[in-house]
Amino acid sequence: DSSQSRSTDNGTDENDISKETSVMEKSDGFLAREEEESKEEALVVLDTTLATTTAESLEALSVGEEHPLNRVVLRFLKDTVEKKDIVEVLSVFGDVSDVQEIHSVKGCMFKDALVTFETNAAVKKALKKGVVILKSHSVVIEATSQEDMVEERIRIPGLIGDPDVPIALVKEPMRTVKIHPLAHDISSNQIKDALRFCRSDVTKLIFGSSKTAAFVEFETENGKERALAGHSVNIFNTKLFISRIDTPGTTVARISNLSMLAMEEIRKACVLYGQVKQVFHRGKGVVDVYFDVSEWPNMVTILNSLNGREVDGMKWMAR
């Protein structure tokens, strides 16, 4: 069972990783259907809302001579959302001076709102975030003027998600991990010896400019995955952590080896690291956590924060 992965001082057994991979492969079709259904639902919602926008809404959203500079538009608000809810959530970007609700025609399930901030800096912060959660529902933040448009509202991250990586030297981020924090007397041979449990040759080892981290490139991706499953190594009684550096191509995190109690509390644990849209239980000790798409640039940090976390005596594996 992938939820009962055996952890030793040297890492996780290859059989456990193979079983975990099998679980993921079996659910690929199910995940694909869910993603397609979500996309179709979003398109239906968008078409319905746009089609039923009233003349009043269009006038309010238009950019005229009297249009305030510090406004954003909130789209797809539930009718149950009140002005105080909007102020409470958006105040994280800056002081809110006014909220104007814009109701669509009868029968539309959503409404919009014009939010005025005290400063344009708050507007830019809100637009950069792009999406917030109000009443357990994702709400889109849009600009009301070309001047406020963010070039990349949902920023597409680069292949390398760790800012400490010497990009010019690391050519294979999908086969590379970060070992840290290093003591100055630890050699490359000692690191290679500690990583023998990965059962993949180390093809390159690069020390960071500060000498407190090393970047280890394996011959295979399986070697990298075994290293991440191990989470840490010990060299002369010094615990060194193994972290991911490559940006995943999805905002879905699969977390395994969870206790029953952790399964029930997993959403609370994950919202500490980013906006969570949905959580699906995939089997004993296995969940898929769907983070909001705006968290894509943060997924390396999120996965590294969740991977190796110990709860109820069980070490999580986040992939």
**Does the structural domain 62-148 have CATH classification 3.30.70.330?**
yes
Return per-residue pLDDT of the chain as tens, 319 residues: 433 444 444 444 444 444 444 444 444 444 444 444 444 443 333 433 343 343 444 454 544 434 457 999 998 888 889 999 999 999 999 999 999 998 765 556 678 899 999 999 999 999 888 888 888 777 888 888 765 554 445 567 889 999 999 999 999 999 999 999 998 789 999 999 999 999 999 999 999 887 899 999 999 999 999 999 999 999 988 999 999 999 998 889 999 999 999 999 999 999 999 999 889 998 899 999 999 888 889 999 999 999 999 999 999 999 9
**Which residue in 208, 191, 293, 297 sits closest to 242, CA to CA?**
191
**Domain residue spans of the chain:** 2-37+247-318, 62-148, 173-244
Q: Using alpha carbons, list the distances in angstroms from residue 176 to 146, 162, 224, 228, 248.
A: 41, 11, 6, 10, 13
Give the fold, CATH level 3, of 173-244. Alpha-Beta Plaits (3.30.70)
Residue type, 196: R
The CATH number of 2-37+247-318, from 3.40.50.2300, 3.30.70.330, 3.40.50.2000, 3.40.50.1820, is: 3.30.70.330
Do domains 2-37+247-318 and 173-244 share one topology? The answer is: yes
Whole-model pTM: value is 0.56
Spatial separation of the C-alpha atoms in residues 288 and 254, rounded to whole Å: 4
240 in Cβ contact with 179 (< 8 Å): yes
